[in-house]
Structure 1
Amino acid sequence: MNKDTQIEELLDAAERQGRCAIPADANMRRKCARRFASGELVNPYPLLYIRADVWERLNPTKRKRAIVRALSTIHPTWVFAAESAICMFDIEQPYEIHPDGELTIASPARSSTYVCIKHGFVKRTLYVPDMPTTMSGGVQVTSLARTLFDCARLLPFELALPLADSAIRGGGFDITSLTQFPVSSLDDANRINAIVTHADPRSDNGAESRARAVIEEGGYLPPQLQYPFPNPNNPDFPLRVDFAWVFPDGSIIVGEYDGMAKYGATWTEVNTHVSMQCERDDHLRACGVTKIVHFNFDDIIHRERLYRKLDEAGVPRIR
């Protein structure tokens, strides 16, 4: 089947700019619609198209970014907010905050929700008084502080904390700036306070941040982060564990997040990592660690599994 040169050029140009393609006229829209019907293109938002194989390779953050960039060219006065703004910042973010088919823009007047029945797309308008804006990735969005403020009050704590940790991990962002915005309810105030209180740049990645949030919501004694132990192989670089609970009687419980990236892609790499992990655990026990809790991302998602491991290790609940 011969490809339409005009459509190919349109799609190529959009891909180079990291956005969805925008058909320029009714004829091009009909051509794109036919290719969408054949499965060649994806139509993630009304009048926006992207090659299906390209779409499949994009993670949820980049998918949202491709939609936002395209819409910003169609609607240059739109100010994107909340999760639709955070996708434009260089911040580690949980993919769950970017479901297909949802978009949020800011409004100085009111909040509302529009549902496109044909596409199943939801566009939310978020009331943002005295709207502070900035340009990020070539798109007009609410300021980073305002964006994090809205994410903190709209998202679950375990999804908002990784955003805050990542923002301050890069340095230069003052998490207390979230308190400059007025809140309309006690619940919002509590959500903002929780993020400001618990945000910590020492979390190495979003999964560790999310684990901390889950541990906090479970009522456990807060752990110390990146707790150091002597390194027998290099005294100048201590071994640091993700989480540690140190008790007055000298006992220590360690928590280690085991991301799949640690294990490698081959059996040799996996076996090497497991061997190194056993050696590291033996050394930690020699340093006085009494219990070691290894957990993975599935344990974080299914928090009852993480709670069971913490309970079995003896991590106390303080509330």
Structure 2
Amino acid sequence: MPQPVTFLPDAERILSRQQGLLSTRQCEEFGVTRQTRCRLVQQGRWRRPVRGVYDTDPVPLGSRVRDDWFTHAARWRTWLALLSHGPDAVAVGAAALVLHDVQGLPADFEPEVAMPDGSRRVSRFGTLRQYRPFPTLRVGDREVARLDHALAQALPVLPRESALAVLDDVARRLGMTPDRLATVHDLLRGRPGAKRVHALFPLVDARSESPAESAARLSCHDNGVPPDDLQARFVIDGTVVARVDFVWRLPDGRWLVVEVDGVGPHSTARALVRDAPRQNRLLASGRVIVLRFKPADNARPGGIGRQVAAVLRRHDWHPAAYPAPTTPIDLTPPAAQRSASRRSGMDSP
């Protein structure tokens, strides 16, 4: 029976950070000889995805079953690009965003690396890029483009919906204030492909809770129906009964609610069970119309925004004509509101 390969704790930590990948140099440092590596590959216990890099997980990336697959895949691809270019390779663009833990990148992004000496060696995996000088910081044992410069490098080559999702994410989770985003905007100027990104900056909203929400909201803007509000709260009898992704206030006083399922707070079976009674209470009020979408619906012609626009046209909605209130939306029936007001008056001294 083949003996398992064991590593010291320090090596295990590196393996974990690099998603199970090791370079030839690291294998030698950890005592895994060339003979052992060849045997492991021949036995199908390790794989060699590119020259000079070994994967200690024999299951191909696309066949792995894990809850964090998308995050794992993004980091695996990033580390494969870095390790294949040697210990001096610097993570730039989308690869740097991955190591900064930024969400919203497409699954098929191209990892980019740069060499500090400006060399143009043949790329083994990913894309070798040479940018004008930029500041870096260390993540683990690697040099990584600083977040603002990584954004400026990556945004021009990302699909629009991914670019907005990335910007929403850094605004929500990584402390990108409007002033810092303005700096990123300035760094973009003059870069190839930057022109189409400029229009996204006014749409950045830190309340967006997932890449799918960002993509759906962009589709709504593209179709001329920007939401009146995000993460709006509905109350009945003084109790919050729902917080929803997007709302539009209709001319007749009702509300159109749009929810994007399958991501973030709606992703688990428990969440879906919890959402059902919440939706029922909204619909029972007679003052709410609910549309639910899957992220894949945005890939259809016109995206989610086209379907939302069709509903809003039937209700004669116009942008900004009926702005949502800044306070929670009260669905308490008018009779109950009057009764509560009278009770409050009687209780007053």
Please indicate, yes or no, whether the TM-score normalized by the shorter chain is above 0.5.
yes
1:278 aligns with 2:280: yes
CA contact (8 A) 1:165 1:199 kept: yes
CA contact (8 A) 2:156 2:191 kept: no
1:223 aligns with 2:223: no
Q: Structure 1 stretches of 5 or more lacking a match?
A: none
Between the aligned partners of 1:97 and 1:111, the Cα distance in structure 2 is 26
**For 1:145-184, what aligned pairs fall within 5 Å after superposition?**
145-170=148-173, 172-173=175-176, 174-181=180-187, 183-184=189-190
CA contact (8 A) 1:109 1:127 kept: no
Counterpart of 1:2?
2
**For 1:1-319, what aligned pairs fall within 5 Å after superposition?**
1-3=1-3, 7-9=5-7, 12=12, 14-19=14-19, 20-23=21-24, 24-25=27-28, 28-49=33-54, 50-53=56-59, 56=64, 57=66, 59-66=69-76, 68=78, 71=82, 75-98=86-109, 102-106=110-114, 114=122, 116=124, 121=125, 123-170=126-173, 172-173=175-176, 174-181=180-187, 183-184=189-190, 187-191=193-197, 193-217=198-222, 219-226=223-230, 228-232=232-236, 234-235=238-239, 237=240, 239-246=242-249, 250=253, 252-259=255-262, 262=266, 264-265=268-269, 273-283=275-285, 285-286=286-287, 289=288, 291-302=289-300, 304=302, 306-307=304-305, 309-314=307-312
Q: SS of 1:90's equivalent?
A: coil
- Distance change >3 Å, CA 155–CA 114, structure 1 → 2: farther
1:169 Cα deviation after fit: 0.4
Task: With the length of structure 1 as denominator, give the TM-score of the two structures.
Answer: 0.76
Task: With the length of structure 2 as denominator, give the TM-score of the two structures.
Answer: 0.70
Between the aligned partners of 1:135 and 1:227, the Cα distance in structure 2 is 36
* CA deviation profile, 1:228-265 (whole Å, cap 9, x unmatched): 35412654x57432112235664542211122663743
* CA deviation profile, 1:242-299 (whole Å, cap 9, x unmatched): 1122356645422111226637437xx755543432223333x43xx4x322111121
Between the aligned partners of 1:298 and 1:168, the Cα distance in structure 2 is 24
Between the aligned partners of 1:243 and 1:133, the Cα distance in structure 2 is 38
CA contact (8 A) 1:263 1:273 kept: no
% of aligned pairs identical? 21
- Distance change >3 Å, CA 224–CA 51, structure 1 → 2: same
CA contact (8 A) 1:62 1:87 kept: no
- Distance change >3 Å, CA 109–CA 313, structure 1 → 2: farther
Amino acid of the residue matched to residue 296 of structure 1? K
Counterpart of 2:330?
none
1:38 Cα deviation after fit: 3.8
Q: SS of 2:112's equivalent?
A: strand
Q: SS of 1:220's equivalent?
A: coil
Between the aligned partners of 2:169 and 2:160, the Cα distance in structure 1 is 14
* CA deviation profile, 1:202-232 (whole Å, cap 9, x unmatched): 1122221121223334x32211332535412
Determine which structure has more spread, i.e. the larger CA radius of gyration. Answer: 2
Between the aligned partners of 2:238 and 2:190, the Cα distance in structure 1 is 53
1:171 Cα deviation after fit: 5.4
1:2 Cα deviation after fit: 2.2
1:156 Cα deviation after fit: 0.4
Between the aligned partners of 1:135 and 1:80, the Cα distance in structure 2 is 10
Q: Which moved more, 1:69-78 or 1:13-22?
A: 69-78
Q: Which moved more, 1:58-67 or 1:74-83?
A: 58-67
Between the aligned partners of 1:113 and 1:73, the Cα distance in structure 2 is 11
CA contact (8 A) 1:93 1:206 kept: yes
Q: SS of 2:247's equivalent?
A: strand
- Distance change >3 Å, CA 168–CA 93, structure 1 → 2: same
Q: Which moved more, 1:130-139 or 1:26-35?
A: 26-35
Q: SS of 1:52's equivalent?
A: coil
How many residues are aligned here?
Answer: 299
